[in-house]
Amino acid sequence: MAGTATHCPYCSLQCGMALAPSSDGPAPVNVSGRDFPTSRGGLCRKGWTAAELLRHPERVTEPLVRDERGALRTATWDEALGRVASEVRRIQAVHGPDAVGVFGGGGLTNEKAYLLGKFARVALATSRIDYNGRFCMSSAAAAGNRAFGIDRGLPFPLTDLDAADAVLLLGSNVAETMPPFVQHLERARAGGGLIVVDPRRSATAQLTDDGAGRHLAPAPHTDLILLLGLAHVVVNDGLLDSHYLAQRTRGLESVILSVAPWWPERVQGATGVPAELIRAAAQRLAKSARTGSCYILTGRGVEQHADGTDTVTAAINLALLLGLPGSARGGYGTLTGQGNGQGGREHGQKADQLPGYRKITDPAARAHVAEVWGVPEASIPGPGLPAVELLRTLGMDDGVRALLVHGANVVVSAPDASTVREGLRRLDFLAVCDFFLSETAREADVVLPVLQWAEEEGTMTNLEGRVLRRRRAVEPPPGARSELWILNRLAELLEAPSSFPTDPQAVFEELRAASSGGPADYSGISYQMLDAGEEAYWPYPQGSRGTPRLFRERFAHDDGRARLVAVRASTGGWASARPRLDEFQLATGRLLEHYQSGAQTRRVSTLNDAQPEPRLQIHPAAAERLRLEDGAWARVTRPGSAVPEVLCRTELSVGIRPDTVFLPFHFPGLAAANQVTEARTDPISGMPEFKTTRVLVQPAMREDSP
C-alpha cells in the first residue's frame, strides 16, 4: 500500500496505518488502514481521525513560560530550557536530588521512555520517577511477575485467539476501547463460548447475545469472589489438568484450600451471579481447555482495585488449574491499554525498574546498566515512589518541589484529581512537555512543545510484546522539538555525565545494550530488521528469533515452574453495607470516541460532537427513586468528603446494575470523574482504586449545572 507505513497513535493494538500526503482538508496526510495482524486493515473512529491533530489550531508550537503576572507567554528555547535547568539546580541545592520528580507516560516511544528514565537517574540523580502506566497496568504486571516470573501483556500473538473455542473476558470493554480486537473473538462467539464479566451490559457484553456466550454481571468489587467460585467448580468437579499442574506449577495445595469455601451458591449470595451460570461457565471453559482452545483475558475492570493484584492472580490461578498458560490449548493474558503501555514500563519509567525490566534493587542489574551508561553503580538512585504516592508528596516540605511531566495529564487522569491539582499549584516549579495546552500544562511554569506521532521516528511495543516501527511522515512545526532533543539539551545544561543521543536509532542501540540479559531483552532487535518487516517479540536476545509465545517450555522462575498463589476475598464490603438509597458504587471507564484524559480526542470535532460531555449511566429504577429523569443534571459526591463534586447529565440504562453508576473519565473541570475517585491503592502494585468508589448521587438544581 502506498504511503508511509506506521501505526495508530492511540491504544496498544497499534493498528497498522498508511499515511499519504494530502493537499487539502484539515490534516497534512490521509489515513488508510493497512494489513497488520492485530487490526487487519481496520481502524476505529479515533484512528481514522488521528491526523487531524497534527495541524490543529490549538497546537502548542513555541515554548511558553509563565511571566511575573502569572500568564504564559511565548519564549525562545534557550530561555525556556535555561529556566528549567536553573530551577532544577536551585531546588536541588536547597532540598536535595529527590526534591525534583519526573512523571512519564505510556504513550512515549521506547526510545523516549528509556532516555527519560536515564535522565532522571543520571542527570537529575533523583529516585522520584514514575508514570501514568501505574494507573492501568501495574496490578496485572505484579500478578504476572509473581505467577510467571515475567510480565508481558499477551504472552502469545493476538491472532491465536482466532482459533479459540472459549474466551473468558473479565473487566474489558474491547468493543469500545479497541474495536478491531473484536474480530479475534468471532470463533468463540460463533460457538457460544464468549463469557464476558462486567457489572454493565457494555457493548462487549452485548456480543454474547443470541447464544454467542454468557454475560456475568457481578456486584461491584466482587470479581475476586467470582473467580474463586469458578476455580472452586474446576477443583470440585475434577476439571483441573492434574498432569500439567504436577509438571509445571507449584502451590496447588494452598490454592485448593483457598477456593474451597467458595461454592457457587455462596458466590451467588456475594456477587449476584446465579450459581447455575457460574457452574456452566466453569464447565464450558474446562471443556474447551480439554478438547479445543480456551483463553482467559483480564482488563482494567478487574485490575483497577485496591486488591487488583490478587484479583488478577485469581484469574491466573484459574488459567493454571485448566492447564492453559504455555500450552497449545490456550493461555492467559492481560490487555494493555496505552499505545506503549508495555514498552513504557520495561525501560525505566517505573519507580523500581531499570531498562530491560530489571529490578533497580538488584546489584547485578545496577552494575550492568551503570556500565552501559558509563557511571558509577553507586550513583544510580534506589527505588522511588509509585505514582499515587509520588503525586501525594507534591509541594510538601520533604516531598517533590519541582516536577517534569512528559506525556501525561494528571489533572484529569489521576485519582482524587482535585488534590493533585492543588499539589501542582504548591510546587516551586512545574514543567510540562506536550503538544496541546492540556489541563496539566495550563498549570505549568514552562510548557515545552513536542512532536506528534507522525512527525517522529521510534519504536513502540504493543499488547503482544511485539516491537514495532513508528515512522516519520510529515515535517513538524518549526518550533516543536523531540523529547530526545529536550533531554539532551537539559542534560548538557545540568552538566550530566553519560551521553543523551538525539537520534532515535542511536538511543535504541543503547537501549539494546542496556536491556541485554534482562527479562525484557531487546538486544537482538534492530531498526534494520524492523524496517525489513521481520516480527520481533521480546524477549529477543542476540542470536535468537524472538519469543512470540512465552512459556512453551518453561516459566521465567528459576525452576521453570509457574506459581499458584492463594488469595482470599473479604466476605464483607458493599453487599453487606446496606447503603443509603442515594448511595452507589461508581465505576469509571472509557467511551468509544475518546481516549485517556481526552486532551487529544476532545479536540477532534467529529469525536467531540458525538460525545461532548460525560453522562452518568444509572439504572431507571434507581433514577426513579431519586426523581432523576433521563438527561437531568445530577451531582456526584463522596459521602462525608469535602472533595469537589462532579456535575453531569444522567443517562438511563437497563444495562447497568441498580447499585452501580458509570462515568467516563475523559472530561475536565466539574465534569472530571476523577475528582471523586479515591487515592486508595493496591499495597502490592500501587494501582489506584478507580472502579469502586462509593458515591452519593443527587439531583442538581438547574442553576448548579455547568
**What CATH number is associated with residue 630?**
2.40.40.20
Same domain (yes/no): 318, 420: no
User: What is the predicted pLDDT for the residue at 704?
Assistant: 59
Mean pLDDT for each 10-residue chunk of the chain (706 residues)?
A: 88 96 87 95 96 96 96 98 98 98 96 98 98 90 96 96 97 95 97 96 95 94 96 97 98 97 96 97 97 95 91 98 96 92 92 96 98 98 96 96 96 94 97 97 98 97 97 96 98 97 98 97 98 96 96 96 95 55 91 94 96 96 95 92 85 94 94 92 90 92 59
DSSP 639-652: TT--SPPEEEEEEE
| pLDDT single digits (tens) 30-40 | 999 999 999 99
Residues 196, 249, single domain; the answer is: yes
Q: Domain span at residue 669? A: 574-704
What does the DSSP 8-state code read for residue 477? Answer: P
Instruction: Report the predicted TM-score, pTM, of the whole model to 2 decimal places.
Output: 0.95
State whether 447 and 314 are in the same domain.
Answer: no
User: In terms of domains, do 247 and 197 share one?
Assistant: yes
Does 25 map to a domain?
Answer: yes
Write down the H helix ranges in 250-386.
252-259, 264-271, 275-291, 300-303, 308-321, 341-344, 363-373
What are 400's three cell numbers?
517533590
Count other C-beta atoms under 10 Å from residue 488's C-beta: 22
User: CA 108, CA 116: separation in Å to the nearest integer?
Assistant: 10
Are residues 693 and 665 in contact, defined by beta-carbon separation less than 8 angstroms? no
Residue 187 within any structural domain of the chain: yes
- What distance in Å separates the CA atoms of residue 288 and residue 646, rounded to the nearest whole number? 45
Distance between CA atoms of residues 221 and 575, nearest Å: 10
C-alpha 615/C-alpha 354 separation (Å) is 41
For residues 178 and 322, membership in a common domain is answered with yes
- Per the domain annotation, does 377 fall within a domain? no
Looking at the chain, how many residues does it have?
A: 706
75 lies in some domain: yes
The H or E element containing residue 389 is helix 387-392
Asked if 169 and 312 sit in the same domain, the reply is yes
Write the CB contacts of 52 (distance below 8 Å, at least 6 apart in sequence).
26, 27, 604
Give 130's contacts (C-beta < 8 A, 6+ positions apart): 103, 104, 349, 350, 351, 384, 385, 386, 387, 390
- Going by the DSSP 8-state scheme, the letter that residue 366 receives in this structure is H
Q: Distance between terminal CA atoms of the chain?
A: 47
Rounded CA-CA distance 49/38 in Å is 19
Q: Strand, coil or helix: what is 354?
A: strand
How many other C-beta atoms can be found within 10 angstroms of the C-beta atom of residue 509? 16
pLDDT single digits (tens) 540-596: 999 999 999 999 999 999 999 999 999 999 765 444 455 678 899 999 999 999 999
Q: Specify whether the CB–CB gap between 688 and 678 falls below 8 A.
A: yes
310 and 282 in one domain? Answer: yes
Q: What span, in angstroms and rounded, lies between the C-alpha atoms of 457 and 269?
A: 54
Q: Are 25 and 79 in the same domain?
A: no
Q: How many angstroms separate the Cα of 167 from the Cα of each of 192, 202, 302, 409? A: 10, 17, 16, 34
Q: DSSP assignment of 433-447, as one string? A: EESB--TTGGG-SEE
Residue 362 sits in the same domain as residue 483: yes
**Does 163 share its domain with 297?**
yes
Q: Which of 281, 282, 270 is nearest to 219 (CA)?
A: 270
State residue 405 phi and psi, 5-degree precision.
Answer: -115, 130
Integer Cα distance of 19 and 472 in angstroms: 10
The reported pLDDT for the residue numbered 702 is 57
